[in-house]
Structure 1
Amino acid sequence: MRKPVVLGALVLSVALLGAAAEGPVLAASPGAGDALDRFRNQTVDWTRCRDASLAASGTECARITVPLDYGQPRGRTIEVAVSRIASTDPVRRRGILLTNPGGPATRGLGLPRDLRTVMGSAVTAAYDVVGMDTRGLGGSTPVDCGLTRSTWLLHAPGPDRAGFEESVRRSRADARSCRERAADLLPHLSTRNVARDVDVVRGALGERRTSWFGQSYGAFLGATYAQMFPGRVDRLVLDSAPDPAEYPFRMVRRQGLANERALDDFAAWVAPRHRTYGLGATPAAVRAGVEAVVERAGDEPIRVGGHRVGDRELPLLFYLLLVHDTADPEFADLLRVLRDAADGKPVTVPAWLQGTLDLVFAGAGTDRAADYAALLAMVCADTAVPRDLDGYWRAVRRSRAAQPVFGPMTHAPFPCAFWAEEPREPRTVIDNGVPALQIQATGDPRTTYRSGLRMHRALRASRLVTVPGRAHTVYASRPNDCVRRTVNTYLVHGTLPARDTVCRDRTVSPRRPAR
């Protein structure tokens, strides 16, 4: 099982007032275009990547200089880290395929390597596949907030007001730490500025246009780029796209109910397998068992894998494992480990679970805490969120009836509620006729199918490929020959399906044995 990313694909999307032309829409000083030319025309020096696994895959790395503030392009500069796996056939090379794995604030230098495992040979011949750590993240000029945890969702409000106040305290502390340590960078780490960085990268690589593959937040970033730079887009693939008008606040809140449905879907799968997993012979019994584990963890944190897991942390752990229905056997194993550990029985923690626990509980000085800082900077630079703490408390309380496991977590106060500065630019409204291929799973618990339909309507020339099942990010993560064939055909030939279509799974998944 692939190790999940703690907040990858969690907070995703934006919206923008006013249509944009090919260039960035800015209140810039006269001559700004000329000033940006020096960035678009810079020389890119490709070298062996420092990361051994990337280097072994044939990935090259480089750093590209961009303005910190596009409104002052002659001012301070920062760097963005990029990666590349070159076309396998220069004769058939079409151009570049820029990519983003989601998040926001998921590191992207390894995505070209990962995508190459599912791309056909014609695609790898047609494109240099390019990855990127977005500004403030990873190998790029980092934002350092000195944070001590991996996400604000790690401490969901408990059953009482004291637990809610603790979540408020932690979110306020995250915001304060960022303000004190990185106030100069924070206002400039927005999705709109990332889209401008993408265009600088395109120019620096000597390309008139770029194709794009983005999943989750990366799908929104691609749509934003197409809105701001429509003439620079060649082929556009959006995998698991959000509603561009709901990022991030309403989107995160909708994930509470979506994950309750995912839990019900899991219960319906595992109940007939009670003799195998012992989690309950009916879906209702399975769900009752899950809620009982959470309640027990509230009475006494469960010791597992060297960590103490309480009722505040369990929702996030469940959230990570329920994202793909093909991981339901692993989720069943997690529940059995938790139940046995709570009973004081010796347990064997599988390597994948140990890795997930270590990732979730990553603390100060870790890559995960650093990536969390970049995520906060991007989300809070993109859009304002409510600051009424009583409103958050009421939402947490209301959520418990229909969302007993995930409601308090997804309705907890955002650190952005305590941010010092409002976003410097208005939200992005996605509304254009750029052709695009969009992939969306019906049971997606992150960017729900309904939210994907709203992106589909906003991209008026897009074609939608629907995938039945519970999944988030399909092309690279879920075995589906139809999806891969459709995407690869579009990238090579530019041929969109004649109409919206459905790609049913033709392969046998670990979740559903062959009959």
Structure 2
Amino acid sequence: MTPPNPTPNPARTVRRASAAALALAACLTATPATAVTAPRTTPRTTPEATAPGLDRYHRQHLAWGSCAIGPDDTTGHDLDKAGVQCADATVPLDYADPTGRTITVALSRLRATDTRHRIGAILLNNGGPGGTAVESPPHIREAMKGVGARYDIIGFDPRFVGRSTPLDCDWPTGMFFRSAGPDRAGFDRQIAFQKSLADKCRATNADVLPYVTTRNTARDMDVIRGALGERKISYLGYSYGSYLGTVYSQMFPGRYDRMVLDGVINPDDYGPLLLRDTVGENEQALVAWADWAAARHDTYRLGRTRTQVLATVDRVARAAARKPLTLGTGADTFRIDHTHVPLLLFMSLADDHDETRAELGETVSALSEAAKGHPAGLSPGFAEALRFILTGEGSQAGSVQTAIICGDRAAPRDPESYWQDIERDRAAHPLFAPMTDNILPCAFWDRPAEQPTRVDKDVPALLVAATGDPRTSYRGTLKLHAELPASRLVTVEGARRHGLYGEYGNACVDDRVNRYLATGKLPAEDLTCTK
């Protein structure tokens, strides 16, 4: 998961923070001899959350009240000021055992003000996996413009995320995604590192890990629908949230109304290896950024041409492979090695706005100075990112994100297959392939309790995507669109952006989504918007 970026838009922050969440793209194991133990409890499966004994969850009373949970809860106080109310929904840990252990899922609600023309409730998911959305209703109300007043806008933190019942594996990092580096010794160190993360999770949370899955989150969504008293619920999901929405539509047909999926993931592609399919898009995004930085050489001092800027990036990567780079001062002193440099670049490539490109310019400028042996100061945002990656500050976010994706789909187990992929792809993609092909904790995870969700029911959803999306490829969007003939697709041609509606400032996208949310009618045909 990428570290949070300070921006005035909390929903955008969450998605930027979780953009590399989908960077869980290459999980594997350490050695074939390393056995993966069975979970202490093997969950029984149920086709959907309508099994006997679930009525009490669907009919529960939600005690709406203040969102602030203490004097220092800035997010909660801001929500209170915006008129948002919060509550906790109780859900079973294991839906096959509804009388057993329970957990809570945190909710927020911004109620419809145009009650005469109220449409219903719309549920939000910002992606990740592991992203929060309790903070999002005010921003989404703003994005929805006039139609927002006709909805109860419901944010929720999925099970074990944010304000919901927590899961924390006590990791020394918030971001496990790393590059394997230039040689086999570096890859072997990654095997040991990733195995240690998986072992920590199993040692501290083995009793809940089998239930940290997208299918169980979809079941929680249906409990939320019932507890809200809604026969159907509308849905807006970004990135991983598009996958979650698709899963919900397959598990609970007939229980959703309007569905918007933005930054679309094809369910067949979703899993630990997802980002292997986006290396080309990320390299193209890096080249586009290099053109941008070259035009601003006087600011960032990285080179006056694309070639010179990319040469600076290569010099930084090579220097970090020889010796860790030192950045910052005092308590905020960090050592950056070859495993971190590709990730630091990757984190800022999911958005082609000037603001994000400037953040990457500052990052590469600081790394370039450190590579020369010069003192390199850090912006507050860069320091925050490094704390997230290099300390245990983000342990909970990284833990739950890993648990979800590893619990959803099994990863290859043999470390040698990862090394072979790295070596095969290194020549064509020297910077990013050792990262997207690298081994991750999923290689050491227990096998998922359920099979991945199959898409075998058509869904009249509105899909939104950019052709240059560096996180979820446009190719995957087209695949899902083909599997859902009743869906319609809004495309932004030429944008290198992950997540568009209400975020990118594209009136064509925003107007089309809002028209659908207002009328419930999909466009007669697909639509292409200009960047």
Residue among 60, 67, 71 paired with 1:42: 60
Query: Which AA in structure 1 matches 2:403?
Result: A
Secondary structure of 1:33's aligned partner: coil
Unmatched runs of 5 consecutive residues or more in structure 1: 14-25, 506-515
Q: Which residue of 2 aligns with 1:70?
A: 95
- Alignment CA distance shift 1:442-1:12 (3 Å): farther
Please, which of 439, 448, 454 is the counterpart of residue 429 of structure 1?
454
Query: For 1:108-507, what aligned pairs fall within 5 Å after superposition?
Result: 108-122=133-147, 124-153=148-177, 155-274=178-297, 277-305=300-328, 306-326=333-353, 327-361=356-390, 363-364=391-392, 366=393, 368-419=394-445, 421-468=446-493, 469-505=495-531
Give TM-score scaled by structure 1 length: 0.90
Shift of 1:398: 1.8
Counterpart CA distance in 2 for 1:182 and 1:278 is 47
In 2: Cα distance, 1:279 partner to 1:65 partner: 53
**Cα pair 2:24 2:440 within 8 Å, conserved:** no
Displacement of 1:8: 5.3
Deviation of 1:413 (Å) = 0.8
Give, in whole Å, the separation in 2 of the partners of 1:47 and 1:8: 34
> Residues 280 and 423 of structure 1: is their aligned pair in 2 closer, same or farther, counting only changes over 3 Å?
same
- Residue 154 of structure 2 aligns to a residue in which SS? strand
Which ranges in structure 2 are unaligned for 5 or more consecutive residues?
A: 1-5, 8-12, 26-43, 69-75
Letter in 2 for 1:5: A
| Higher mean C-alpha displacement, 184-193 vs 341-350 | 341-350
Q: Give the whole-Å Cα distance in 2 for the aligned partners of 1:416 and 1:49.
A: 35
Whole-Å separation in 2 of the counterparts to 1:27 and 1:151? 31
CA contact (8 A) 1:28 1:72 kept: no
Distance 2:45 2:144 in 1: 41
User: Post-superposition shift, 1:453?
Assistant: 1.0
1:48 match: secondary structure: coil
- Say if 1:114 and 1:8 are closer, same or farther in 2 by CA, change over 3 A: farther
For residues 168-204 of structure 1, what are the alpha-carbon distances to aligned partners after superposition, in whole Å with 9 as ceiling and x for unaligned? Answer: 1111111111111111101111111110100000000
Query: What residue identity is the alignment partner of 1:190?
Result: T
Amino acid at match of 1:105: G
Partner Cα distance (2:383, 2:300) in 1: 20
The alpha carbon displacement at 1:277 in A equals 3.9
* Cα distance, 1:346 vs structure 2: 4.4
Shift of 1:477: 2.0
The equivalent of 1:511 in structure 2 is none
The answer to whether structure 1 residue 100 and structure 2 residue 125 are counterparts is: yes
Deviation, structure 1 residue 322 = 1.2
Count of residue correspondences: 486
CA-CA distance at 1:273 after TM superposition = 4.3
What residue identity is the alignment partner of 1:287? Answer: L
- SS of corresponding position for 1:10: helix
Once the two structures are TM-superposed, the CA of residue 290 in structure 1 deviates from its matched residue by: 0.8
Deviation readout 1:114-171 (Å, 9 max, x if unpaired): 322322022x211111111111112111223222211221x32121211111111111
The residue type equivalent to 2:102 in the other structure is T
Deviation digits for residues 243-276 of structure 1, max 9, x if unmatched?
Answer: 2101113312223333122112222333344455
Cα pair 1:434 1:459 within 8 Å, conserved = yes
Shift of 1:283: 2.4
